[in-house]
Structure 1
Amino acid sequence: MVRQFLAVIAGIIVGSLGIWLMERLGHSLYPFPADLKPDDIEGFKAYVENLPFMGKFIVILGYALGALISGFVATKVTNKNNPAAAVICGIIFLFLTIYNMVMLPTPVWFWILGIAVWGLVLIGYKLALNKNKE
């Protein structure tokens, strides 16, 4: 039970780092306005609303990377042939993603991909199992 808990924590940390790295890439390609303050929620909403397609799609790619590595790491830490830790990571990230989509102006395609992409934790799980067999 402790190992499973630690696996979920590790999966969340590594998945978050993957998302953060992709979002940093997105912000380097589509920087924040110079006058945007960290506590300016309305300004951030306007920034997100005006992002071009690729700016938003990079976020989805970050979610995909986060899902894959989260599922992989959680499975490696549990060292079991059971997807529970990977699925728990996916569910936690899914709820956080839905929260972000509710708070920010995101198009329908973003909602669809933003929800579907978290199923990739199971691919990360499968990849970890294949590595365990070698």
Structure 2
Amino acid sequence: MHPILRNILAVIAGIVTGSIVNMGLIQVSGSIIPPPDGADVTTTEGLKAAMHLFEPKHFIFPFLAHALGTFAGAFVAAIVAATHKLRLALAVGVFFLAGGIASVFMLPSPTWYTIVDLTAAYLPMAWLAGKLVTRKSRSARQANLA
């Protein structure tokens, strides 16, 4: 397969994987940390109306969904990529960061959460995933040379 085509597919696979992980964590979050009484979390309008009822514990799973979804997507992109593994992992991180920024405008959240989410959940996780894969790839190449 041509490296450019493989890299495009790597980014697409990363975005799909990250989205699946993100949504999976969001889906189970309510059964682990129930939403506040009276909060309708099934619609954006319901979330906006109930946001004042949310406590810090209610932001754990959204953060984990963003961070682990980005990590998983970036990891897959870096593994599948033919070249530029770290750059493509970061591209997936930028994609999810753009989604996080859009989410801030669509669904206002406390300032502390917005800062933590946008600074720690996306680019750092993508960088970490990319570094893990590139370090692993480098170690494998060195082992093959020995």
Query: CA separation of 1:106/1:65 partners in 2, compared to 1, >3 Å: closer, same or farther?
Result: same
Query: CA separation of 1:52/1:35 partners in 2, compared to 1, >3 Å: closer, same or farther?
Result: closer
Q: Do structure 1's residue 15 and structure 2's residue 18 form an aligned pair?
A: yes
Deviation at 1:97, TM superposition (A): 0.7
Alignment match, 1:5: 8
Contact (CA 8 Å) 1:93, 1:118: kept in 2 or not? yes
Alignment match, 2:132: 127
Query: Which whole-Å deviations, capped at 9, do the CAs of 1:34-91 have from their partners, x for residues lacking one?
Result: 89495x5432212334222111121111111012111111000104354221111111
Moved over 6 A (4+): 32-35
Q: How many residues align?
A: 133
Alignment match, 1:30: 34
Letter in structure 1 aligned against 2:80 = V
Deviation at 1:105, TM superposition (A): 2.1
Contact (CA 8 Å) 1:71, 1:87: kept in 2 or not? yes
Root-mean-square deviation (CA, aligned residues, Å) is 2.3
Query: CA separation of 1:33/1:47 partners in 2, compared to 1, >3 Å: closer, same or farther?
Result: same
Give TM-score, length-normalised by structure 2: 0.78
Q: Which has the larger radius of gyration?
A: 2
Query: CA separation of 1:53/1:37 partners in 2, compared to 1, >3 Å: closer, same or farther?
Result: closer
Instruction: Point out where structure 1 has 5 or more consecutive residues left out of the alignment.
Output: none
Alignment match, 2:87: 84
Q: Distance in 2 between matches of 1:56 and 1:37?
A: 13
Instruction: Point out where structure 2 has 5 or more consecutive residues left out of the alignment.
Output: 141-146
Q: Do structure 1's residue 56 and structure 2's residue 94 form an aligned pair?
A: no
Deviation at 1:21, TM superposition (A): 2.0
Q: How does 1:36-51 map to 2 (within 5 A)?
A: 36=40, 40-51=43-54
Contact (CA 8 Å) 2:39, 2:50: kept in 1 or not? no
Counterpart of 1:71 (choices 71, 74, 93) is: 74
Q: Which moved more, 1:25-34 or 1:115-124?
A: 25-34
Query: CA separation of 1:104/1:76 partners in 2, compared to 1, >3 Å: closer, same or farther?
Result: same
